[in-house]
Structure formats: C-alpha cells, structure tokens
Amino acid sequence: MTASFPQAILFCCDHNAVRSPMAEGLMKKRYGTKSYVQSAGVRNDMEIDGFAITVCEELDIALHRHRSRSFDQMTEIGDDITSYDLIIALSETSHQLALERTKAFHTEVIHWPIMDPASRSESREAKLDLYRQVRDQIIARMQDYFGPALY
C-alpha cells in the first residue's frame, strides 16, 4: 500500500481501449474523488472495446462514453502527463513511453503488467472470462497498492 494517496493518477496502455479505461473506471468507482483519475494510450487507433464495457457494467461502471486518447492528444489539449503524481502503465510499451516523457520530472511511473485480452480470439463466453480476469487483476493490484476500496 502506498504511503500517501496521489492527487492525480494516469493509467495508460497501448490503445486506451481496454485496460486503461477499465482501470480508470475501477479507480473512480472504488476510490471516488480521492484522486483525479484519467487514462490514455500510446495510440488512440481504437474505440472502447465492447467486452471491456460489458465486464465493467457487471460492477456498475459505465465505460460506454469513454473516448480513447493518446499521450500526444493529451499534450495537444494541455493535459501534460508530467502534471500527474503517479502514472500506472499497464503495458510495456506505455511504460517505456511514460518513462521517456517524464525523465526530467518527479513523476512516479510504475508498471503493472496486465494481459491484453483483446489479442485473444476465443468464443464470446471465453473472451468475457478473459476480460473478467483482467478486470479482477486490476482490482487486486489497486487493492494492494491503494488499500481497500472506499466505496
């Protein structure tokens, strides 16, 4: 568990379509407004994944309005990643890019290697199970790092 709760957290992954939006939604649901929370991807070449929406809806987390965005788009709108206290990268590629872009700043960047369920081709039920595993893995990481959910 972290000593003090960060004021601003950015979750990131490759496309901001599955893992990082799930993490953003889960963080907001479990810890409320304790932190400002956003998500981004290395690229934004995909829309939010329907399976991610479905498995988060099972926990009353609405992701259907999420719009994918990249690190570059964040910069374009004035949301610089160096303004976050903590960046949690859910993929190796996003971890490397976050480290590169924050190397001259005091931003903490950590890596939670979370499997990308979108890369698997399975039956609908098997795919939903993979997405649930990813969701539950993110929840376990949050609980270990931030402590029990507040809500």
For position 41, which CATH number holds?
3.40.50.2300
Number of domains in the chain: 1
Q: What is the pTM of this model?
A: 0.94
Q: Does 3 map to a domain? A: no
pLDDT digits (tens, 9 = 90+) for 3-49: 689 999 999 999 999 999 999 999 999 999 999 999 999 999 999 99
Tokens 């499997």 correspond to what residue? Answer: 115
> In this structure, what are the phi and psi dihedrals at residue 85, rounded to the nearest 5 degrees?
-75, -35
Q: Which domain does 95 fall in, by range?
A: 8-146
SS3 label, residue 73 = helix
